[in-house]
Structure 1
Amino acid sequence: MKKIFILFSILICANSVIQAQQSKDSVMARLTSLRDDYVGKIKAMGYTPRLALPPIVLDNPRSFGNYDDSLNVVHTCYWPTLEPEGKAVFDNFAKQMGHGMNGEKFFQLAVYQWIFIHELSHWWQACQNYKSDPYETEKGANRIATAYWNDRDLKFYQFMLSVFQGVVDHVPSPVPAGFAKEKYLDDNYQKLPGGNAYTWYQSIMIVEVSKEKPFETFKQAIALAGKPVK
């Protein structure tokens, strides 16, 4: 946890911690700007996305973010209307970090930055007609999100990676003995979002991606729709 404290202090100095209690208009402006930056970078690489820009809906999905490929919509959360059990997830993370962190600040970092880009990466996978099993699809979106944040904001990426490493180190694996983690997620995918098991899965994927050689750039991740570099 000491490493998280250090990285959080760096994050404050880098002005990455967001002001509390944002209005819906300011949240939508922030997310729209991030979405447009993400898509703008893709277009600058010479791609023309097959799908339109996905609208953003603040409706508190159980996994704190969801790309609905049937409607081409990104669903995300809004702190003032989030259920108490949802807020408790971020409050608990914040208590472990200390150093001025609170649940809403961590929510804004995790949901409006990391998870939102992860869901936009599912949009890009849909643009590329990428099809795979749930585990590989999720890991691919994490690979794209990792590459995006590593290129755009290294301090934020290192901070979130420390959070995910903390989950892997301290949360028991939900995978029963004798099962491969990939197969278990594929078989239980619809049951997991929003719980500790799903948080563990997302965390282990991101930690594994961080150790891949070669480490993908955002340009490579976009070209491969999240598949690993061979």
Structure 2
Amino acid sequence: MKHPAIKKIILNAITFIGSAFKIGAFVPFVLLINTVSAQQNDTLLKKLSTLRDSYINEIKSFSFKPSLAPPVLVLDNPRSFGNYDDEKNVLHTCDWNTLPAGARQVFEELAKNLNSRITAEQFFEISVHKWIFIHELGHWWRACQHVTADPYENEKAANRIDAAYWNEHDPQFYQLMLSVFNGIVSHSPSPVPAGLDKAQYLNDNYQKLPGGAAYTWYQSIMIVEVSKEQPFETFRQAIQNAGKPLK
């Protein structure tokens, strides 16, 4: 390095960076990042809390009384993108900013199939923080009613409540998601081995499937089947029956 002035500047910079790491001069910068992240989490939790509370208040307006408190919301990226823990009354959901790359890829692929009408993050928001979130609140309501069932029927019941809710509250969104689920069923092979019953196969493998293509197929085909049920339940009926089909 021939120019002494440039050499001095670089050496001073190296010295400063080294000192910064030693004395923690970068701590305010790290704290700033953490503060922004915390603020984003707070905003998301407030948004989800508003949807949760609106859902519960509507149930109360039907003259039904929940036996459980509103579920606590936790952003911890469950592998199924949503999970209600009935033992702790906690609803686990996801945050795009901390979602693992492999999980993000799921939404990137699905968004591509929508002909670029929506980004991966946008599709994540509407599918996880709308569709799946309400699905998990359906599990919460069934817990309020002390309803028990095998995994297949339990999931289908939550989907029944979910479909009824969105068909009333946002029909356009419901039809969009229904088209996505129909597309998944049409273009994805069934994970059920030949000769086995699909409900029993899910029941036998329930702990293994969430987060994978097989579980996505299962949720999709359940929703497609629910959409064809006649009579199609209103949200009030779905709540009254705790997701059981109308007779």
TM-score (norm 1): 0.89
How far apart are the structure 2 equivalents of 1:61 and 1:109? Answer: 17
Correspondences of 1:60-139 after superposition (within 5 Å): 60-139=77-156
Correspondences of 1:142-153 after superposition (within 5 Å): 142-153=159-170
Aligned residue identity for 1:158: Q
Aligned residue identity for 2:146: N
Q: Deviations over 1:43-95 (max 9, x none)?
A: 00001100001010000000000000010000000001000000000011111
How far apart are the structure 1 equivalents of 2:153 and 2:231? Answer: 18
Aligned residue identity for 1:59: D
Correspondences of 1:26-65 after superposition (within 5 Å): 26-65=43-82
Aligned residue identity for 1:44: S
Aligned length: 209
How far apart are the structure 2 equivalents of 1:175 and 1:100? Answer: 32
How far apart are the structure 2 equivalents of 1:168 and 1:192? Answer: 16
Q: Deviations over 1:8-60 (max 9, x none)?
A: xxxxxxxxxxxxxx921221111011101110110000011000010100000
| Structure 1, 91-100 or 39-48: larger mean CA deviation | 91-100
**Structure 1 residue runs of 4 or more that deviate by more than 2 Å after TM superposition:** none
Q: Does 1:178 align with 2:195?
A: yes
Aligned residue identity for 2:181: F
Correspondences of 1:186-205 after superposition (within 5 Å): 186-205=203-222
How far apart are the structure 1 equivalents of 2:173 and 2:46? Answer: 20
Higher relative contact order (CA 8 A, sep 6+): 1
How far apart are the structure 1 equivalents of 2:112 and 2:149? Answer: 37
Q: CA deviation at 1:101?
A: 1.3
Where in structure 1 are there 5+ consecutive unaligned residues?
A: 1-21
Q: CA deviation at 1:97?
A: 1.2
Aligned residue identity for 1:71: K
Instruction: Tell me the SS of whatever aligns to 1:190.
Output: coil
Q: Give RMSD over aligned pairs.
A: 0.9
Q: Does 1:211 align with 2:228?
A: yes
How far apart are the structure 2 equivalents of 1:79 and 1:86? Answer: 9
Aligned residue identity for 1:171: S
Aligned residue identity for 1:223: Q
Aligned residue identity for 1:129: H
How far apart are the structure 2 equivalents of 1:155 and 1:25? Answer: 28
